[in-house]
Amino acid sequence: MAVDYSRHAADYDRVRADEAMDREFWLRGLVEVGHLRDGESVLDLGAGTGRFAQLLSTTNRVVAIDSSDAMLRIARAKGPFECVEGDGHRLPFRADTFDLAMVVMVLHHLGDYGAALRDAARVAHRVVVATSDMTTRRLGILEEAFPSLLAIDRKRFPPIPAIVHALEAAGFRAPIVVDRAYVRTLTTEEQLDRVRHRYLSTFDLLPPGEYERGLRFLETEMPRRYGDRFEISARFTFVGATR
């Protein structure tokens, strides 16, 4: 079942973006693993609200593509970068248009990520994928609150070796895999607010009633266990390759 991003667009940046983490964790990972240099052209595939397109647009020419009109409406207001509504499986660009395609937390949404990576290889010389590795993913108290969540994600997120294989099949050479630790401290109320606004797309895929029960559990249990500081400790994986 696909996640409907039109329902999340308005709150997306409030509950997911964080200027410091976006720059210091995500953008740094994308630039380093994607070997991106100032002035190179970038395709942000599944760009959503354009949070990375916007950060990069001061140094690079960026085109943001996404299938959700609601997400792109927010991205367009951030300019100056081009926004294109389209399907990541069939990119509406000529061969060799971009130096780098970046694909951030998108592969698990695609019906055929291998086809999307093949088309990325047609339009871009290099690629960098950012994703979550389900063999190491831990969600702490969220696993207690939402018992089905991890199992659902394990089926949605492509395994890292499968991504590496798909990149090679797409014509990219010798993909490199870089796993990085992500640590972010929030107030407990901020984290609860993120859950209330369904900051993980998997919340939309839980069995009936599980989201509501889990939220009630967290509202009672988080302040009791953590007081008013909540630390997120996670890992994300960047995979980069050149053709």
Ligand X SMILES: C[S@@+](CC[C@H](N)C(=O)[O-])C[C@H]1O[C@@H](n2cnc3c(N)ncnc32)[C@H](O)[C@@H]1O
Distance from C-alpha of 51 to C-alpha of 216, rounded to nearest angstrom: 31
Q: Which residue is nearest to ligand X (CB)?
A: 48
Contact 86, 92 (CB under 8 A): yes
Distance of CA 7 to the CA centre of its chain: 17
194 binds ligand X (CB under 6 A): no
87 binds ligand X (CB under 6 A): yes
The interface mask with ligand X, positions 96-135, x = CB under 6 A, is --------xxx--xx-------------------------
Of 29, 34, 48, 158, which lies in the binding site for ligand X, with binding defined by CB under 6 A?
Answer: 48
Of 43, 51, 113, 218, which lies in the binding site for ligand X, with binding defined by CB under 6 A?
Answer: 51
Which of the residues 63 through 82 are near ligand X (CB under 6 A)? Answer: 66-68, 71
Return the residue matching tokens 């401290």.
Answer: 185
Q: Which residues contact 43 (CB under 8 A, 6 or more apart)?
A: 62, 63, 65, 91, 93, 97, 98, 100, 101, 102, 120, 123, 124
Q: Least distance to ligand X from the beta carbon of 136, Å? A: 19
Residue among 127 and 222 whose Cβ is closer to ligand X:
127
Task: With residue 176 as reference, give the H or E element that holds it.
Answer: strand 173-187
Residue numbers at the binding site for ligand X (CB under 6 A): 5, 46-48, 51, 66-68, 71, 87-89, 104-106, 109-110, 201
